[in-house]
Each structure stands twice: as C-alpha cells, then as structure tokens.
Amino acid sequence: MKIKEIKKLLGAELLCGEDLLDSEVYSACCSDMMSDVLAFVKDQGVLLTGLVNSQVIRTASMMDMVCVVFVRSKNPSLDMIELARECGIVIMKSSKRAYEACGVLYSAGLVASPAED
C-alpha cells in the first residue's frame, strides 16, 4: 500500500514527507510504548501512536520505518517534524482513535508482519 493511500484512508493531514507519499509499505503497528516497538516490532513500515515526543521519531528511524501517524489529532512539535524530515520519515496526524485507524488500515489490506516465536 502506498503512503498516500494511508493518508486518504485515515483522512490524515500530512506534516512532512510529501516527496515520499508514493513509497510502498506492507505492514503497520500501533503502540504508545516505544520499548515495545523496539522489542517486538519487526519489518513494519508504519507506526501509529498517540505518544508525542521525539523518542517516537528516533524509534521509527532505528526500526527503518518510513511513516508515523499520530492519532487522536495529536500535534508533534516543530522539532519533531524537523527530525522526521532529516530522517526521511513521513509524518501525518489523523483525528481517528488508534483502534479505528488500525481497523481501517487492516481492512484495506495493511497487516502486521508475522510474530516471531
């Protein structure tokens, strides 16, 4: 799924990364706990979160994610947006709650990668 499709499905506002909207992503995850993202997430292209601090961008960068969607209309700071721009990460915000946003993306075919045993 292209990031621009995610933007449309979630009715999201693009905050940075317009040049990356045609990038393909194949899976997503949702968490407000960056320690869980680091410990359990593998091969996810998109992170949905309600947590708004610079660790979200740093975690997404470490995990090679290409897109972060802030749910519940959360507003990242200008510093966070600049950091995402430097890291080549698309940043969007959506008014949808995390549960609904995940359901919309899952129903459209964006899934989680298989869990490791």
> pLDDT by residue (tens digit) across 93-113?
999 999 999 999 999 999 876
Sheet strand arrangement including 13-16: 13-16, 90-93, 67-70, 46-49, 28-30
Buried b (16+ CB within 10 A) or exposed e, 48-68: bbbbbeeebbebbbebebbbb
User: What CATH architecture is 3-107?
Assistant: 3-Layer(aba) Sandwich (3.40)
Domain segments of the chain as ranges: 3-107
Residues 5-25: tens digit of each pLDDT: 999 999 999 999 999 999 999
Ramachandran class of 62: left when φ > 0, alpha when ψ lies in -120 to 50, beta otherwise: alpha
Is this structure's pTM higher than 0.85?
yes
